[in-house]
Amino acid sequence: MIKKFIDAHVHLNTTSTEKLEKAMEYNASFLSINTNIPFFESIEKQEEVILELQQKYPGKIQFITSFDFRDWGKENFAEGAIAQIKRGMDNGAVGVKIWKDVGFDLHDENGNFVMIDHPVFDPIFNYLVKNDILLIGHQGEPRNCWLPLEQMTVDSDREYFKAHPEYHMFLQKDYPSYEDQMNARDHMLEKFPDLRYVGLHLFSMEYSIGEVGTRLDKYPNTTTDVAERTCHLQLQAKEDHEAVRNFCIKYQDRIMYGTDVIDDGSTSPEEIAAKFEHLWNFHYRFFATDEILEAPEFQGSFKGLNLPEKVVEKIFYHNAKKTYQFQY
């Protein structure tokens, strides 16, 4: 592992300290992302947890704020969302997240799904641009979500959607398509070209490094992360090692490392710390060495990318340090 690094996509929703002690051992820092997820605490409660952890471990955590939809459908929705954003930024947030509930859960007065490029969000995005506030976005889902089980590319997706058909969009014909989700996100970026944006999870285009590269080329104010999608890079490396290696080298200034580990109290603090340690080491071996590896998400082996040291340092540290304003 490199001398210091940043896990730039986690959800630290408990005040347990084991994960921070593990980070201290590895000289690691965290970006914790507060999100409007139904099974998470409120945005304000998530923020309270982070502020407490920041006091105990100064300089080790930055956080992203968000907004909810308590005033959805009301004339003052955007005003209330901006007030939530202001509160989070005043408390030290380094950006704002918008989640996939936009595109899946929200409806307009006519019952139509509301996508991220809907004019109702324009005042919020204009506010972010005017105040040079970073937006990070998780739009849509992995493309596997819209494919039949037998066509899914990784076992983890196949097993999940087999067990949870209610979330399997291939079966939910009334929902927006994968293309609808991606087109709406792209249209939003075209509407706000000065918006600084992180397309989380490889822009939800994890199945194709070519598609990710197209977005990075087309939208120069964007970056991406590999959180919970490293296995998709590994799968593509199994088929075309040099293509994935060249992708990481070409976009070395615009890719950030993250695990997307969720610490919500459902797993013991010791297990969370062990999970971080395992993922950090396994992922580092993929990016930094030429070892022959296997991943639990699919069958077969693949070779590590053996990226130049300076590229690994950018992906694991420097890019997140710059994007998320780490002083460490």
Given a contact cutoff of 8 angstroms between Cβ atoms, the answer to whether 6 and 321 are in contact is: yes
Tokens found for residue 197: 């944006």
Helix (H, G, I), strand (E, B) or coil at 145: helix
The total of other beta-carbon atoms located within 10 Å of residue 171's CB is 13
Q: What pTM did the predictor assign?
A: 0.96
The pLDDT value given to residue 328: 76
* CA nearest neighbour of 260 among 197, 181, 201: 201
Distance CA(141)–CA(114), nearest Å, equals 16
Whether the Cβ atoms of residue 280 and residue 28 lie closer than 8 Å to each other: yes
Instruction: Provide the 10 A C-beta neighbour count for residue 276.
Output: 22
The single-letter DSSP state of residue 177 is P
Where do we find the tokens 């799904």? 113
- Residue 180 sits at the vertex; the CA angle it makes with 204 and 39, to the nearest 5 degrees, is 55
Quote the CA–CA distance of 100 and 162 in Å, as a whole number. Answer: 21
* Tens-binned pLDDT, residue by residue, of the chain (328 aa): 889 999 999 999 999 999 999 999 999 999 999 999 888 999 999 999 999 999 999 999 999 999 999 999 999 999 999 999 999 999 999 999 999 999 999 999 999 999 999 999 999 999 999 999 999 999 999 999 999 999 999 998 999 889 989 889 999 989 999 999 999 999 999 999 999 999 999 999 999 999 999 999 999 999 999 999 999 999 999 999 999 999 999 999 999 999 999 999 999 999 999 999 999 999 999 999 999 999 999 999 999 999 999 999 999 999 999 999 998 7
Planar angle of CA 196, 96, 270, nearest 5 degrees: 120
What count of residues does the chain have? 328
Q: Are 260 and 37 in contact (CB under 8 A)?
A: no
In 10 A of CB 183, how many CB atoms? 14
| CATH class of the region 5-10+28-323 | alpha beta
Q: Is 212 helix (H, G, I), strand (E, B) or coil?
A: helix
63/208 Cα distance (integer angstroms) = 29
Q: Are the beta carbons of 226 and 288 closer than 8 angstroms? A: no
* Cα(23)–Cα(273) distance, integer angstroms: 8
Phi-psi region of 243 (alpha: psi -120 to 50; beta: other; left: phi over 0): alpha
Geometric angle at alpha carbon 284, from 256 and 327, rounded to 5°: 45
**What pLDDT score was predicted for residue 39?**
87
- Scored b (16 or more CB within 10 A) or e, 118-141 reads beebeebbebbbeeebbbbbbbbb
Rounded Cα distance, 273 and 13, in Å: 14
